[in-house]
Amino acid sequence: MNGSLLRQRLLGGVALAVAVPVVTTGIGHGLFVAPFVLVAVVLLLARRPLRPLPAWVENLLAVPILLAVLSAGGWEFGVLRPVTHLTLLLAAVRLPGCGMGTRFWSVGGVVGLVGVAGVASATHPLLVPYLVGLQVALLLGAARLVALELGEAGVGRGGEGGSGTLATTAVTVVVGVAFAAAIFVAAPRLRSPFATASFGGRAVSGFRDAVALHRIGQITASRAVVMRVRFEEGESIQPEWLRFVGSTLQHYRGGVWAQGRRTSSLGTPSAQGWTRLATRGVAPLVEARFVLERPQEVLFVPPGVVEVQLPPVAVARGALGALRVPVGTTSRLAYTVRFDPARITQERPEPADLEVPARLSWVRSLARQAAAGSRTTLGAALAIEAYLRANYTYSARSDAPLRRDPVEWFLQESRQGHCEFFASSMVLMLRVLGIPARLQAGYAGGESDGRGGFTVRDSHAHAWVVAWVGNWRPGEGVPSAPRGGWRVFDPTPPEGQPTLQGSVPGWRWVASWERLESAWDRWVLTFSLADQLEAVRAVLELGRRAVRPGVMAPVLGVVAVALLLWWGGRGRDRPRRGAQGGAAGALEMVYREAAALGLGGGGGVTPRALLAATARAVPEAVAELSRLVAWHEAVRYAQRRPAGRMAAWRSARRVVRQLRRHRGR
C-alpha cells in the first residue's frame, strides 16, 4: 500500500468515526450526514487513490451548499447546527483526492471541525471511551503512515510499528487523558445562575431557588441523584406524595420569579426532636425520611408538611415556608418529615399574591376567555389549568427574546415551553381574576425501589401553582378559611410532568450504570465554579496538613528511600548501558569508514549485511569485524555483558585501518 492510499483510508475512517456523535446527538440532519458518510465509505473501499473533483466543479457546488444550509433553517437552533451542516457538505466535496500530501491536511481540518461539532453536542458518558478510542486509532494510523513515508523515502524499512508503537500510543493516551482532565477542572466556567447562559451554554435540568425565563435554550435532562425518600414499607403511596417543595415564589419582575431572603428562627423542638411548622389537623400524618445526596441550599418537603426532625445544621425558615440551610454545607443531610397529604401548609394570602405587571394587563381577557362559564374560583382555576394543557405544547426548548416579557411571548407567540412557562402563565391568569396564586418550584415524581423508597433525580425538577380557591365567585374578594384554602394545580401537559416510575428490572450492572450516569451528570455536565473552588480549597487543606511535622517527616523519609533505591538500581544498570553505548560507538566508527569505501554503511544496513559486504571487498578485515558484530549482538539482543570491552574497540580500530588501507590502493 502506498502513502496516498493509506492517507485516503485513514481520513475516510476518521470521517466515519466523527460522524457517530453527529448522528446520535441530532446536531446534524440526516440529509446532510448521508453524503458525508457515503463519501467516507467510498474512500475506505477504493483500491487506489481517488482524484479530487475539478476546481470548477467544487466552485459550482458552493452555491447549492449555501442554499441547502440556509433552507435547513438552523439558526433558530443556534449557530452550531448550520455550521455543522456547512462543514459536512464541504468535507463531502473535498474528501476525494485527500490522499495527496497537501490536500490531506486541509481536508483533515474540515473533518476535524465536524468532529468538534459532534463532541460539543454530546452529553452521554460513553463520550469518554469514544474519545479515547478515537485517539488510539489516530495515533496508530499516524504511526503507520509515518513509517510508510519513511520507507518510501529510503529511511527505515517502512514496516509496522510493533510493540514500541503500542507502548508509545498507550503512554500518549494516558498523558492526553490526564492533561484533558486537568484542563477541564481548571478551565473557567461561565454559567447562568438558573439554567444556562444566553451565549450558548447548555441548560441542565434541576432545582433553582429563583426562576428565570429568558433565553434558557435547550434543557438537557440530567439523571444526577438529588435525594432519596423513604416512606413506611407497606404504605399505599399516592403520586401526589412525591411532590417536594424547595421554594414558594410571589414576585414576578421582567421574566424572573424571586423571593426575599428574610428568614426567621424555628421553634423549639419537642422531646422527641420534632419541630412544629404548622398546626396539626385531625387527619393522620404520613412520615417520610429524606437524604440529600448533594449540597443544597434548602430542605425539600411536601406541600403539607406539619413537623420535621431537622438535620444537625442551622436551619432557618423563609417568609413563605422555605427551609434554608447555610451556604457551603457539603455533608449529606438526613431529616424526617410528617405531612398531611390533603393540606397545603402556606400562610394566608397576601396582597403580593395578586400583583400583575402593568404590561401584562391584557392577560385578563385571555383569562376570562379560558374561565368562561365558571361560577366559582375553584372552577375558574380548573378551567385555566385545562385551557393551558389543551392549547399549549410542552417543549424542553425555549428562546424567549430579551426585549419581551417571557410570559407574554409564551402566551401570544411561541405557544410552547417548559413547566416554568405554564406555571408562570397560570399564576398571572389567576391573579388578574382576583384569585391569589403563588408559584412553587421543587421536584415531582421519583423512581421506586419497590420497598417504599424513591430516588429523585435532577430530571424530576418541576414547577407548579398553588392558588387560594373555594366556592365563591371570581372577583368577590379573598374570603378566609373554611370557605377558601390553598390547592395545588399543575397546568403543564402530561408529557412534561415528571412521573412516578417503578423499580428498574435487571441485573446489578443496571444500578451500576445508573450510578455512573449520575456521577457523569454531577461531575461533568454540571461541574461548576463552586466545584472548582471546593477543589482548590481541598488541595490547599491537603497542603496545610502535609506541612505538619508529624506528617511531613514520614513523607520525606519515603521520598529519600525511593531516591536511594533508584540510585542503586541506576548503578547496577550502568555497565549494561555502557556496553550498549560502546557497541554503538564502535560500530558507528566502522560504518562511517565503510560508507566512504562504498560498502553500504548508511542507514538501514544491518551489521550482518555490512559483514557480508566487507567479506567480498576486504576479506582481511572479516575476522576482526566478525568479533565486533558478535560482541554487538550479545550486548544488544541477548542483554549480556561479555568481557573485553576495550578489545572490541581495538577490533574496530583494526577494521578501520584495514578499510582505509584498502581504499588507498
* CA dihedral sign of residues 473, 477, 483, 486: positive
Q: Give 540's pLDDT tier (boundaries 50, 70, 90).
A: confident
The yes-or-no verdict on residue 201 having pLDDT over 70 is no
* Amino acid (one-letter) located at 638: A
pLDDT at 204 over 90: no
**239-287 per-position pLDDT tens digit:** 889 999 999 999 998 888 988 767 777 777 777 789 999 988 888 999 9
For residue 398, pLDDT over 90 is answered with no
CA angle 140, 143, 144 (to 5 degrees): 90
Residue 100 sits at the vertex; the CA angle it makes with 95 and 102, to the nearest 5 degrees, is 95
Q: Where are the alpha helices (DSSP H) in 491-617?
A: 508-520, 529-546, 549-597, 607-617
Average the pLDDT over 588-610 and give the result. 76
Q: What is the pLDDT of residue 115?
A: 92
Q: In this structure, are strands 393-394 and 416-417 parallel, antiparallel, or unpaired?
A: parallel
Dmax (CA) of the chain? 127
Grid-cell match 403520586, residue found: 239
Mean pLDDT of 203-222: 72
pLDDT of residue 164: 59
Angle between the N-to-C axes of helices 363-370 and 377-391, in degrees from 0 to 180, rounded to the nearest 10: 100
- The Cα-based distances of 99 to 46, 161, 254, 498 in angstroms read 12, 21, 57, 52
Q: Tally helices (H) and strands (E) across the chain.
A: 17, 24
Helices within 337-444 (DSSP H only): 363-370, 377-391, 406-409, 419-432
Distance (Å, rounded) from C-alpha 496 to C-alpha 619? 91
Q: Which of 78-92, 218-232, 254-268, 384-398 has the highest mean pLDDT?
A: 384-398
* Cell numbers given for 173: 493516551
Q: What is the pLDDT of residues 75-98, one digit of tens each?
A: 655 578 889 999 999 999 999 999
Closest by alpha carbon to 525, among 127, 234, 3?
Answer: 127
Q: Pairing relation of β-strands 484-489 and 461-470?
A: antiparallel
Degrees to nearest 5, angle at CA 70 with 64 and 73: 140
CA atoms within 13 A on the CB side of 651: 22
- Residue 130: which H helix or E strand, with range? helix 127-152
| pLDDT of 402 over the 80 cut | no
Please check whether residue 498 is in contact with residue 492, taking contact to mean a CB–CB distance below 8 angstroms: no
- What angle (nearest 5°) sits at the alpha carbon of residue 136, between those of residues 132 and 140? 170
3-state secondary structure of 289: strand
Q: Which three cell numbers stand for residue 115?
A: 468532529
How much of the chain is helix, strand and coil, in % rounded to 5? 50, 15, 35
**Closest among 380, 397, 398, 377 to 388, alpha carbons compared:** 380
Asked if pLDDT for residue 74 goes beyond 70, the answer is: no
Cβ–Cβ < 8 Å for 422, 386: no
Q: How far apart are CA 477 and CA 555, in angstroms?
A: 75
Which residue, among 214, 298, 307, has the nearest Cα to 252 in the 3D structure? 214
| Residue 619, burial from CB neighbour count under 10 angstroms (0-12, 13-18, 19+) | exposed
Phi, psi (degrees; rounded to nearest 5) at 403: -85, -5
CA distances from 313 to 226, 289, 297, 360, 538 (A): 19, 17, 12, 42, 21
**Is residue 234 scored above 60 in pLDDT?**
yes
Q: What are the phi and psi torsion angles at 62 (to 5°)?
A: -60, -40
Strand partners, 442: 245, 462
Those residues with Cβ within 8 angstroms of residue 655's Cβ, 6 or more apart along the chain or in another chain: 590, 593, 614, 621, 624, 625, 628
Please give the mean pLDDT across all residues of the chain. Answer: 82
pLDDT in tens, 141-178: 888 888 777 666 654 454 555 555 788 888 888 998 89
Share of the chain above pLDDT 70, in %: 82
Percentage of residues of the chain with pLDDT beyond 90: 38
Give me 73's grid cell: 433553517
Task: State the cell numbers at 403.
Answer: 426585549
pLDDT of residue 36: 96
Tally Cβ neighbours within 10 Å of residue 268. Answer: 7
Residue found under cell 410528617: 338
CB atoms within 10 A of CB 66: 12
Rounded CA separation 214/257 (Å)? 11
CA Rg value for the chain: 37
Name the pLDDT band for 512 (thresholds 50, 70, 90).
Answer: low
| Cβ atoms 244, 444 nearer than 8 A | yes
Neighbours of 638 (CB within 10 A): 9
What confidence score (pLDDT) does residue 190 get? 47
Pairing of strands 286-292, 298-299: unpaired
Global confidence as pTM: 0.55
For 600, which DSSP code? -
pLDDT tens digit string along 634-653? 777 655 555 556 777 788 88
Residues in the chain, how many?
665
Task: Pick 564 or 553 by higher pLDDT.
Answer: 564
> For residue 414, how many other CB atoms are within 10 A of its CB?
18
* Residue 74 phi, psi dihedral angles, 5° rounding: -80, -10
**What separation in angstroms does the CA of 97 have from each of 29, 42, 233, 324?**
25, 12, 68, 64
Close Cβ partners of 592 (under 8 Å, ≥ 6 residues apart): 601
Nearest to 131 by CA among 166, 180, 76, 165: 180
* C-alpha cell of residue 203: 441548560
Of 269, 266, 276, 265, the closest CA to residue 307 belongs to: 276
Would you list the DSSP string of 293-309? -S--SEE-B-TTEEEEE
